[in-house]
Amino acid sequence: MKYTKLPNTDLEVSKICLGSMTWGQQNTEAEGHEQIEYSLDHGVNFIDTAEMYSVPAKPETQGSSEKIIGSWLKKTGRREEVVLASKVAGPAEMVSHIRPDLGFHKKAIEEAIHNSLERLQTDYIDLYQLHWPERNTNFFGQLGYEHEHDEEWKDNFREILENLKHFVLQGKIRYIGLSNETPFGLMRFLEESKNDLPRVVTVQNPYNLLNRKDEIGLTEICLREKVGLLPYSPLGMGTLTGKHLNGIQKNSRLDLFPQYKRYSNKEAVEATRKYKELADRHGLSLTHLALAFVNQQPFVSSNIIGATSMDQLRENIDSIDVKLSEEILKEIDEIHNSIPNPAP
């Protein structure tokens, strides 16, 4: 395994982070525990979760991923060996079951942190992330920003950081991060943190061979301002394994939950086919090509993988030993330039 420190922190994390959003629906508690054990045995020390998980979000499974991590922590007593990240949900209809007053005001954050700590059976969370912005912005399938002039949101970046500072001082969270955030949001949080407020250390966004939109603006900020990118969906919900090239595979995530189809459009399939041909020419699996590409990016602090089977988990973790040559990286860029960002 390879390791790095999250920028401006004392947290040393593995370059591979274990995602948990399938635990509680596609994976049982026993399977979640098995994944944690295997990952730690192979050098992974970073686990990511969220109060809304498992996914898709449902009232009956909300918090299930945190509970599975918590039962493992209680059973093993290995809390100090793990860097634990979780998230508080912003306002969205899909998670309206979590609490009636969703958002990042102090009462909502207090309730969210209290409940997460209880489910995780720990006294603190190492990295606490805002799952998506309160304001209207563009993510999931939309590249261009469309401004809504009747938006009710008012600038509250400083207020949110003041709310989070309260829980940092209490020792319930150590560092803060963002998720599904834009360059505007990241820069506003960084600017407001100069007022003796907690500084954002990471941004967790989708990033993969089919979605490199953050290279347009966000990754420059990450590099210049020393903020770590934590890519999620590095395999495009399994698309970049190549298993869906001849149609959606039965009982796969995309088959069980067809609403997650943004990696299945015509252009994304064509790009995936080209990346598969590239991987084949160089004697690599498409999975390793896709993950190694993310692992090698200088703005990436840790690559969040997710697996529903142990075979998938093993291959994903093994990607840390794959180094792509300059020749392969050049060929990747040629494909990207011909079919740029087909699945933003």
pLDDT tens digit string along 91-111? 999 999 999 999 999 999 999
Examine residue 201 and state whether it is found in any structural domain, yes or no: yes
Quote the mean pLDDT of the chain: 96
Examine residue 284 and state whether it is found in any structural domain, yes or no: no
Examine residue 287 and state whether it is found in any structural domain, yes or no: no
Examine residue 319 and state whether it is found in any structural domain, yes or no: yes
**pLDDT value of residue 260:** 80
Examine residue 282 and state whether it is found in any structural domain, yes or no: no
Cis peptide preceding 54, ω within 30 of 0: yes
Evaluate if residue 173 carries a pLDDT over 90.
Answer: yes
Evaluate if residue 244 carries a pLDDT over 80.
Answer: yes
Give how many domains the chain has, as a whole number: 1
| Positions marked catalytic | 53
Give the domain range for residue 20.
3-238+300-324
Examine residue 336 and state whether it is found in any structural domain, yes or no: no
Give tens-digit pLDDT for 286-307. Answer: 999 999 999 999 999 999 999 9
Tokens found for residue 22: 């399938």
Examine residue 113 and state whether it is found in any structural domain, yes or no: yes
DSSP string, 243-279: TTTTSPPTTSHHHH-TT--TT-SHHHHHHHHHHHHHH
Residues 266-288, mean pLDDT to the nearest whole number: 98
Rounded to an integer, what distance in angstroms lies between the CA atom of residue 48 and that of residue 43?
A: 15
Examine residue 216 and state whether it is found in any structural domain, yes or no: yes
Give tens-digit pLDDT for 104-153. Answer: 999 999 999 999 999 999 999 999 999 999 999 977 778 888 898 889 89
Any idea what the CATH number is for the domain that residue 160 is in? 3.20.20.100
> pLDDT tier at 57 (50, 70, 90 boundaries)?
very high
Residue 304 near residue 53 (C-beta atoms within 8 A) = no
Looking at residue 198, what DSSP letter applies? P
Give tens-digit pLDDT for 181-227. Answer: 999 999 999 999 999 999 999 999 999 999 999 999 999 999 999 99
